[in-house]
Structure 1
Amino acid sequence: MEYAKQKLHEEKVFKDPVHRYVHVKDRVIWDLIGTKEFQRLRRIRQLGTTYLTFHGAEHSRFNHSLGVYEIIRRIIDDVFEGRPEWSDDERLLSLCAALLHDLGHGPFSHSFEKVFHMDHEHFTQAIILGDTEVNQVLRKVAKNFPKHVAEVIAKTYKNKLVVSLISSQIDADRMDYLQRDAYFTGVSYGHFDMERILRVMRPREDQVVIKQSGMHAVEDYIMSRYQMYWQVYFHPVTRSAEVILTKILHRAKELYEDSYSFKQEPVHFYSLFQGDVSLEDYLKLDEGVITYYFQIWQEEEDPILRDLCERFMNRNLFKYVEFDPAKEYKKHSELEALFKKAGIDPDYYLVVDSSSDLPYDFYRPGEEEERLPIHLLMKNDELRELSRQSDIVDSISGKRRTDHKLYYPVDLLYDESTKKNIKRQIRSILELT
């Protein structure tokens, strides 16, 4: 039997706290899970530094990837099968793209991407198309199969229905991470009736649509996403940890460029510092490797790198105040000058951090980011954009919410062994007692 159609002698299952079980019966999927590139995802947390805020948030990209695969499997095998708009020829491609969609994430991925100007989607495609175990498995299906999987993840695949299953405003990726992140953080915001949503999903030519009777379940999903972003993903304590993490990476890179002599040479960072990261180097990076360096950098001679690493490793994070950069730029300039006078480097210890989210939007021609709207399938077979039918969704459509905070090390401002009067001035501006 050809490899693409091979089934396991006995179905394998992964016990899962969100979906109860993840079912695997396709040989291709089982072989992909066993590759070293996929197993690497066990060593990368799904939520980066969030474990420093919500202590249960230790789950990995591996967990999430299996979850997205399971949702897609259920949609295809239980809901779409036999429907004329769905071609079973796309089944294996959809399952593989779902499983591998986060394959290129690095350690503390979003912070790393900002500092080193990298894109995890680029590395996802590089792993799928490169000299890897994942590529070897996919090529056994067909010579061009890895290319098609990469195209689905890049949103360039010709069948937009397949793309929308893992990348749209209501997709398997979001449905898994909202529930999984809510479960592991212990919050109640991310829960919605996924069973209902899956039952009312219908395939159409270029996207998944939702039967009109499922509108309220979709409203609940969108509000869950909104709440999760502001209560979990943009939590100010998590952002404080990300600020410090980012500053550690900036400092290490700056020291390397200044030919600083590290006690322990950061060999895993060399290609990152040089801006020339090979796939081989990238795949050696995981959160265990990175935190190893943070651990030993606590003993470095450089006081800033040493202090920042101690803060991150021991959770001595920066405090914050609400801050509007547009209105309070004079205050920021004044604080920068005072920080310098106090001997506290503002480049590393006075940081404005902004978070922004657009919970739902409909398509606006000419905008940079095309957001495929959610369509409801009416009883007369007509399609209507969700916010035209739902007052709840209409009330938040197109409304971007942005939040700014100013982060600083409060303990240094209360250490009056030096520059006592300057530090009191800083505290006064920050309205600290």
Structure 2
Amino acid sequence: MSYATARLPREKVFRDPVHNYIYVQHQVILDLINTREFQRLRRIKQLGTASLIFHGAEHSRFTHSLGVYEVTRQICDNFQRNYPMEIPGDGGWDDRYRLTALCAALLHDIGHGPYSHTFEHIFHTDHEAITAEILTSPTTEVNQVLRRVSPTFPEEVASVIQKTHPNPQVVQMISSQIDADRMDYLLRDAYFTGTEYGTFDITRILRVMRPYKDGIAFAMNGMHAVEDYIISRFQMYQQVYFHPVSRSMEVILDHLLARANELYQNGNEDESFVPHLLLPFFNHKFDLKDYLNLDDGVLTTYFIHWRDSDDEILADLAHRFLDRKPLKSAIFSEETQDLIPHLRELIASAGFNIDYYTATDNSYDLPYDDAYDPRVTHPLTQIELQEPDGSLRELSTVSDLVNAIRGKFSGDQRFFFPKEMLSPDSHDPELFQPIYDEFKQYIQNNQLIQPKETDHHDH
């Protein structure tokens, strides 16, 4: 028996709050889980700063990656049992691709860095490109495991994540508008944040999935389960992923790393400041080993040191992040964005460095995109519903509910500023009171909208 087909003598299971059990049947999957690079994902939170708002959201990219693997395993089982390929090109499932799909599902997030999206923005890294490098670099344990399957297997698995694999069914399992990745993170994030509106009937969706020549479709009688998934995703983006306080903490994190980078570039030689594991990124000369040395805990340790820095801005931003002191925000639009320069002037007059204490941020999501555009580098496929005669219909042409939201972006633009501008507390209230009063009046008179703080997580 080859390593590629080697099954464990007895399947291993991981207890999981979302899927109950995660079943590991292949030796290669167990070996990948035990690699250094995959174990590192235990130390990176799935939701980053959102855990500062939803206190239960302490789950990691490790748990999510196992979940995506499990959903993919169930899809493969369903396809092989009910829709196996009988002759090449008939649109059925070719089970020779099972291990490729399972490994791609397990490893799809292995290139994420600490506080991933903020880190990427500051240091211009690309987690998908780094994922491919981890898979294909002979220096990694992951690559060594994959090469035991075949010399070309690392590149094959990487091609699924890069969306260049020739089998569209395998690609769409991992990356499409309704895939194993999204299904797991929606259910997992809903569970750990305690937000019931993120749930949907995954059992039904997996039941109505089926392969066809150009990818994956869903039985017409499963349309309502797919609708439920689309609406759940929409709700999660509005209530969790775009939460204004989470975005505020991301702004602070972004500015904290930017300040540290600026101090280093300006020659700060204070030994208590120097973040040795970040220096390759400050110098724009990092390699894969440098990247894999980082996780959330490494950054948090540096933030603890920086809280006592001689640089007032660095110390204050570290305090705000570690001790959860978010910025306030106001929604603005194209009609009101011209008001922001004056607000910044008032904030500067109150003694704040506007480069580090103000920001604009827009968060938008497209709940469902029916405008498939093959000219895009990696277009997301439409969701296809399959009639009993085998013909396909795009989801929004059948579902009035999805048609109502198709192609419509949801989200907002926010201007972030220090909370002290609204409630000065210890920030010299007497000296700057006229400025604070003008700031508040300016926001109210010009109808900039501040979020209402009604829910238990809207601190």
Q: Give me the TM-score of the superposition, normalised by structure 2.
A: 0.91
* 39-48 vs 76-85, greater mean Cα deviation: 76-85
Q: 2:401 and 2:248 mapped to 1: Cα distance?
A: 32
Alignment counterpart, residue 200 of structure 1, candidates 199, 208, 218: 208
Q: Is the 8 A contact 1:201 1:209 kept in 2?
A: yes
Letter in 2 for 1:266: P
Letter in 1 for 2:383: I
Verify: 1:121 aligned to 2:122, yes or no: no
Q: Is the 8 A contact 1:241 1:317 kept in 2?
A: yes
SS state of the match for residue 355, structure 2? helix
SS state of the match for residue 300, structure 1? coil
Verify: 1:47 aligned to 2:47, yes or no: yes
Q: Is the 8 A contact 1:106 1:112 kept in 2?
A: yes
* 106-115 vs 415-424, greater mean Cα deviation: 415-424
- How far 1:364 sits from its partner (Å)? 3.8
Q: For 1:334-383, what per-residue CA distance to the aligned partner results, in whole angstroms no more than 9, with x for missing partners? A: 12222222221111112111100001011343664622000001012101
Q: 1:417 and 1:36 mapped to 2: Cα distance?
A: 55
- How far 1:390 sits from its partner (Å)? 0.6
SS state of the match for residue 254, structure 1? helix
Corresponding pairs, count: 432
Q: 1:276 and 1:402 mapped to 2: Cα distance?
A: 36
Verify: 1:340 aligned to 2:348, yes or no: yes
Q: 2:223 and 2:118 mapped to 1: Cα distance?
A: 36
* 18-27 vs 349-358, greater mean Cα deviation: 349-358
* 7-16 vs 407-416, greater mean Cα deviation: 407-416
Q: Is the 8 A contact 1:362 1:371 kept in 2?
A: no
Verify: 1:112 aligned to 2:119, yes or no: yes
Q: 2:396 and 2:104 mapped to 1: Cα distance?
A: 29
Verify: 1:168 aligned to 2:176, yes or no: yes
Quote the residue 1:94 is aligned against: 101
Alignment counterpart, residue 297 of structure 1, candidates 306, 309, 326: 306
Alignment counterpart, residue 280 of structure 2, candidates 247, 271, 274: 271
SS state of the match for residue 269, structure 2? coil
- How far 1:72 sits from its partner (Å)? 0.6
Quote the residue 1:389 is aligned against: 398
Verify: 1:313 aligned to 2:314, yes or no: no
Q: For 1:279-328, what per-residue CA distance to the aligned partner results, in whole angstroms no more than 9, with x for missing partners? A: 0000000000000011110000111111111011011111112222x222
- How far 1:161 sits from its partner (Å)? 1.1
4+ aligned runs moved over 6 Å, structure 1: none
Verify: 1:403 aligned to 2:412, yes or no: yes
Gaps in structure 1 of 5+ consecutive residues: none
Quote the residue 2:18 is aligned against: 18
Alignment counterpart, residue 429 of structure 1, candidates 435, 439, 442: 442
Q: For 1:48-69, what per-residue CA distance to the aligned partner results, in whole angstroms no more than 9, with x for missing partners? A: 1111000000000000000000
Quote the residue 1:420 is aligned against: 433
Q: 2:371 and 2:381 mapped to 1: Cα distance?
A: 6
- How far 1:190 sits from its partner (Å)? 1.2
Quote the residue 1:36 is aligned against: 36
Percent of aligned pairs with the same amino acid: 51
Q: 1:112 to 1:260 in 2, by over 3 A?
A: same
SS state of the match for residue 307, structure 2? helix
Q: 2:221 and 2:140 mapped to 1: Cα distance?
A: 45
Q: 1:366 to 1:70 in 2, by over 3 A?
A: closer
Q: Is the 8 A contact 1:80 1:203 kept in 2?
A: no
Q: 1:175 and 1:279 mapped to 2: Cα distance?
A: 30
Q: Is the 8 A contact 1:79 1:198 kept in 2?
A: no
Q: Is the 8 A contact 2:371 2:407 kept in 1?
A: no
Q: Over aligned residues, Cα RMSD in angstroms?
A: 1.5
Q: 1:363 to 1:322 in 2, by over 3 A?
A: closer
Alignment of 1:190-269 (within 5 A): 190-262=198-270, 263-269=272-278
Q: 1:72 to 1:404 in 2, by over 3 A?
A: same
- How far 1:329 sits from its partner (Å)? 3.2
Quote the residue 1:379 is aligned against: 388
Q: Is the 8 A contact 1:49 1:242 kept in 2?
A: yes
Q: 2:56 and 2:99 mapped to 1: Cα distance?
A: 34
